[in-house]
Structure 1
Amino acid sequence: MNSLTGALNQLLRQLDGPFPEAPGLRQFYVTVTPEGEPDGLAWLASQWLWPQFYWQQRDGVEELAALGAVRRFSSLAAARDFLTAEQGGALMRVCGLNTFDPGQGSLFVPRLLWRHRGDEITLTLTLYSEHSLQQDALVARRFLRRLVAPQPLVAMTGECLEERHLPDREGWHSMITRALDAIIAGDMEKVVLARASDLRFSCHLSPGSLLAASRAVNRGCYHFFMAFNEGSAFLGSSPERLWRRRGLALTTEALAGTVAGDDDDGRAAHLARWLLNDEKNQYENSLVVEDICQRLEGAASVTDIAEARIVRLRNVQHLRRDIEARLAQPDDALCLQRLQPTAAVAGLPREAARRFIEQVETFDREWYAGSAGWLSVDDSEFCVSLRSARVQEDRLRLYAGAGIVAGSVPDAEWQEIENKAAGLRSLLFSSGR
């Protein structure tokens, strides 16, 4: 195996070979010795090349860092079609985000993919051109020569100068009241309403450093990061899987029902027992399970629905039920269309809830409550982009949402979104205020 520097030099040497002045696809694969090497996030955030995409599986079994784009897609369906057409690219993965509206996304085939799985790190360099593979090899050589040594990700030290909520607490109460009236009227069974919190700081923010801090304390979460350019990024630490596909085997889940967490194990266990037996939260979770099963009809056969269990996170605890299914065909675009947005981030019925969200929310969700992940010909995995934030230079927008059903109490739901937002927000202030 090679050091990271040795692996990159090996890739450069492989670009010395002749390439045709014709369209084509080539991929080069080298292994790296994990011991002593920086993690993928530190390496990625140190580079002055974009786009950048980082993703870590919530069980820690896989970590991806993708840099540069040889092909971009504005939807997952377009990415799926490209992968299907380029069956020869066995090592090829498409990485990126889907917006809350599943028809839109920002995904790309990375020029360089850093992958850590088990005790192995691999680097995959991709050449692709619709005109000249020879010319793209020259572009790839210049790309590799621009890479820099990774720098440590340091904690943010800026001061928060301004903070406001969209909506504020009074507006939140009004929005919840409208939602409860619509539920009582029979317009919908559930709607998930969100709040955006805009913060302005005295310095430009480092999204890589913020995610590194979140990754260190928010265990049991997917961690994701997409830097579109030098000043703009979206990141988060989400507990929820949207789906995982291995061939035709599909795994998804209902993550709905929430109670506060606690550092004390005894108090946390008491809250967890309450959550497992609370009628309102059990009902909310069952709605999501039922919705997922209905939406998979015709595309997959459900083979197992697990019993509800507690997922304990840093600031909150959730009810989760795993759902196993077998797809009729390995179509990730179909998975996205059927599963996003789930009832856990939109509501039921889905279209009625989405229309209500469009009417009452005062901001565009964009990437929030969409999905982040990767796909290949053989498999794929996406998480729901929750517990997330959008970074624009010295400004940060935090997102949090709560599921509203009959019996919801506005003050309790406000406290729920405060608890959820705290997963990232508390990292910005030394006092945790």
Structure 2
Amino acid sequence: MAGTSCAPRMLAAQLLESYEAGSSFFFASPKRTLLARGTFATVPHPGGANALARLPERVAAVLNEAREADHDIPVAVGAVPFDSALPAQLVVPMTIQRAGPLELGSDVAIQRPLAERYTVQPVPEPAAYLDGVAQALKLMGSGPLRKVVLSRALQLSTATPIDLRQLLRNLARRNPTGYTFAVDLPPALDAAPDAGRRTLIGASPELLVSRSGFQVVANPLAGTTPRSADPIEDQARAAALRVSPKDLHEHAVVIDSVAEALRPYCKNLVVPQEPSLVSTPTLWHLSTRISGELLDPSISSLMLAVAMHPTPAVCGYPAELAHEAIDTIEPFDRGFYTGTVGWCDANGDGQWAVTIRCAEASEHSLRLFAGAGIVAGSKPESELAETEAKFRTMLQAMGLGQGVGVQP
């Protein structure tokens, strides 16, 4: 055989301990854990203006070629970037191992910190981000733009090599109900020849879409407030979020768009009338679980993901105008941040999470990302505070509190 067989099922925690940066893909969802290793084939970039729309057919072709070569791991794994014109990083692995939910007991220590000291560079600086939010609000006040998501980055550097397995372990330990991932990335286009590996790593709370047989589920999140260490204040914040006109409006924009994207592919689409509350260790979110049945079994999970990407939760609405505003206001390239990460098999089943609460890591640096949805009524200082709260998912997994161990 040209390929290698699927390895026996193992405990999810064993798969996590077997992860090796530079040669593995790791993806843990609330129901299953997956570790893929090696590269049997790489999905080529389709190129052209409609590259993203053509990506599912390229993946299907590569999976068929793998089958014809007697490779019995017909699964594509990896990540799709925010900008549809940029190439995705999708591969058919040499081996794949699966397990149930990743359950790390309290005896699994969270190492802190991962490095003795970091230097940090905000991109943009907080004052510039406030100006950007004000600029976005001005655009919404003078045109049809209803929402735009504006992001920030933190560039952290350290002299100590970063232990990505420990970081992945910390993320999984702190975010047991999310989607913990690590994806090998190719060198950046402008990288030096000796730049070394890059890894996309994070713990997303948000499912973009999953497909299992004919069952389709999407779970968009939009509308957020930071959590409090005080239980009474924490519940008060959650209650306020549930009735916040600004956040409910932001959520409705996202839900309408996601449902509109799924309807051509699904029947019996169920869209709850009101959102529910979900929490992470750092944030409360408004959440709506949308479900339906496929109209056609040839529609893969990746086709659904492409049809939905980017949702207003990470871009804005209308999408084209929001994308233009992002290009104008944000002073950096998002890369794979606010894209999607996951897997799709030859039957079309798969899971794709929204690539948020994440970082792009190299041996001695991490670039963390966080964004906030700007709508009419947004206050720049509140949106800046939201991004600070979202950074905490990665900072806490790195063993850092606000300002702890960080040099400006």
TM-score (norm 1): 0.80
Q: Partner of 2:220: helix, strand, or coil?
A: strand
Q: Partner of 2:368: helix, strand, or coil?
A: strand
Write the distance in 2 (CA, Å) between the matches of 1:254 and 1:157. 32
Contact 2:82 2:336 (C-alpha < 8 Å) held by counterparts:
yes
Contact 2:10 2:97 (C-alpha < 8 Å) held by counterparts:
no
Q: What do the CA deviations read for 1:284-308 (whole angstroms, capped 9, x no partner)?
A: 0000011112223433335201231
Q: Which residue of 1 aligns with 2:357?
A: 387
Q: Partner of 2:359: helix, strand, or coil?
A: strand
Q: What do the CA deviations read for 1:115-137 (whole angstroms, capped 9, x no partner)?
A: 11279xxxxxxxxxxxxxxxxxx
Deviation at 1:30, TM superposition (A): 4.6
Cα separation, partners in 2 of 1:419 and 1:84, compared to 1, 3 Å: same
Consecutive unaligned residues in structure 2, runs of 5 or more: 46-54, 103-108, 187-195, 404-408
Q: Which residue of 1 aligns with 2:105?
A: none
Q: Partner of 2:177: helix, strand, or coil?
A: coil
AA in 2 matched with 1:112? T
Confirm or deny that 1:341 pairs with 2:310: yes
Q: Which residue of 1 aligns with 2:277?
A: 310
Q: Which residue of 1 aligns with 2:48?
A: none
Confirm or deny that 1:213 pairs with 2:183: no
Cα separation, partners in 2 of 1:154 and 1:273, compared to 1, 3 Å: closer
Confirm or deny that 1:28 pairs with 2:5: yes
**Aligned residues: percent identity?**
25
Confirm or deny that 1:412 pairs with 2:382: yes
Consecutive unaligned residues in structure 1, runs of 5 or more: 1-18, 20-24, 120-151
Q: Which residue of 2 aligns with 1:52?
A: 24
Confirm or deny that 1:80 pairs with 2:55: no
Deviation at 1:265, TM superposition (A): 3.5
AA in 2 matched with 1:395? S
AA in 2 matched with 1:171? A
Cα separation, partners in 2 of 1:421 and 1:157, compared to 1, 3 Å: closer
Contact 1:218 1:313 (C-alpha < 8 Å) held by counterparts:
yes
Q: Which residue of 1 aligns with 2:189?
A: none
Write the distance in 1 (CA, Å) between the matches of 2:354 and 2:323. 17
Deviation at 1:204, TM superposition (A): 1.8
Cα separation, partners in 2 of 1:180 and 1:296, compared to 1, 3 Å: same
AA in 2 matched with 1:268? D
Q: Which residue of 2 aligns with 1:126?
A: none
AA in 2 matched with 1:337? V
Please say which of residues 273-282 and 214-223 is displaced more in the overlay: 214-223
Deviation at 1:68, TM superposition (A): 0.4
Cα separation, partners in 2 of 1:168 and 1:30, compared to 1, 3 Å: closer
Confirm or deny that 1:92 pairs with 2:74: yes
Cα separation, partners in 2 of 1:246 and 1:412, compared to 1, 3 Å: same
Q: What do the CA deviations read for 1:300-333 (whole angstroms, capped 9, x no partner)?
A: 3352012311111111100000111233332334
Deviation at 1:26, TM superposition (A): 4.7
1:286 to 229, 252, 256: 252
Confirm or deny that 1:177 pairs with 2:134: yes
Contact 1:226 1:233 (C-alpha < 8 Å) held by counterparts:
yes
Q: Which residue of 2 aligns with 1:262?
A: 228
Q: Which residue of 2 aligns with 1:114?
A: 97
Q: What do the CA deviations read for 1:131-185 (whole angstroms, capped 9, x no partner)?
A: xxxxxxxxxxxxxxxxxxxxx9965542334211111111111101110011011
The alignment's C-alpha RMSD in Å is: 2.4
Write the distance in 2 (CA, Å) between the matches of 1:431 and 1:332. 37
Cα separation, partners in 2 of 1:291 and 1:232, compared to 1, 3 Å: same
TM-score (norm 2): 0.84
Deviation at 1:38, TM superposition (A): 5.4
Q: What do the CA deviations read for 1:362-415 (whole angstroms, capped 9, x no partner)?
A: 110001001111101231101001000011221110000000000100000000
Aligned length: 371
Confirm or deny that 1:371 pairs with 2:371: no
Higher relative contact order structure (alpha carbons within 8 Å, sequence separation ≥ 6): 2
Confirm or deny that 1:324 pairs with 2:291: yes
AA in 2 matched with 1:251? V
Contact 2:157 2:366 (C-alpha < 8 Å) held by counterparts:
yes
1:189 to 139, 146, 169: 146
Contact 2:221 2:287 (C-alpha < 8 Å) held by counterparts:
yes
Deviation at 1:43, TM superposition (A): 0.8
Structure richer in strand, relative to its length: 1
Where do 1:192-271 residues align within 5 Å?
192-228=149-185, 231-271=197-237
Q: Which residue of 2 aligns with 1:41?
A: 16
Write the distance in 2 (CA, Å) between the matches of 1:356 and 1:234. 25
